[in-house]
Amino acid sequence: MKFRDVTIFSGHRFAVPQCIQRIDHRATHGWQLRYGGTKLYSDHSNDGSGAAAALEKATKELLRRIATLPAPTTLQRGPSQNKRSQLPPGISGPIVRQRNGSSVRDCSFAVLVPRFGDTPRRRTVYIGTENTYSDEKYATALARAIAIRQEAEEAYLRDATRARRAAARELKATRAANKANGSTA
């Protein structure tokens, strides 16, 4: 899990895990958890003396949420405003092209296949040639393209959740070791 050093208004420094933000605004001082919704853990002090306890509570809740909720992803859930077709996100087409040496054009869908921690791939789903194209073949190819994209999104979410939970286990182990050693880091 990624950490960053945060120095609060009182001068205290903290190693803060991702998904937790510091809020210092007028009379509000605390740590905001941003994972599966937001929740503020107040310092309950104006001098920042309660920041360590509030961060501890926020971190415990973060670990609980990671263990029970799927990882948030940046995958696009709806079509962008500029997309002119009614196809779902990650699917483009139909793409018509004529290959070298062929006298007949063919048609296909392009499917963007996301992969967690790796670059996405592009898959092509064949519809037919200009001689064999039909509404039925279009519908069949579109259903296959949607299925490919949906399977890829499910795998992406599964892999992202596994990675997030593995990072949470490491954080738990580090915290347990620090408590055993008497360290507060």
Residue 155: partners with Cβ closer than 8 Å, 6 or more residues away: 115, 116
pLDDT value for 20? 93
pLDDT value for 38? 92
pLDDT value for 185? 52
Residues 105, 133: contact at Cβ < 8 Å? no
The DSSP line for 43-102 is -SSSSSTTHHHHHHHHHHHHHHHHHHSPPP-----S--TT--S-PPTTEEEEEEE--TT-
pLDDT value for 159? 93
Domain boundaries, the chain: 3-69, 75-185
If we measure between CA atoms, which residue out of 20, 1, 84, 10 comes closest to residue 45? Answer: 10
What does each of the 185 residues of the chain score in pLDDT, given as a tens digit? 788 898 888 888 998 998 899 998 888 889 999 998 899 999 988 787 888 999 999 999 999 999 998 888 777 676 666 767 778 888 988 889 888 888 889 999 999 999 998 889 999 999 998 888 899 999 999 999 999 999 999 999 999 999 999 988 888 888 888 778 776 55
Is 90 exposed, middle or buried (CB count within 10 Å of its CB: 0-12, 13-18, 19+)? buried
If we measure between CA atoms, which residue out of 139, 122, 121, 126 comes closest to residue 95? Answer: 126
pLDDT value for 78? 67
Residues 42, 56: contact at Cβ < 8 Å? no
Residue 75: partners with Cβ closer than 8 Å, 6 or more residues away: 89, 114, 153, 156, 157
pLDDT value for 34? 92
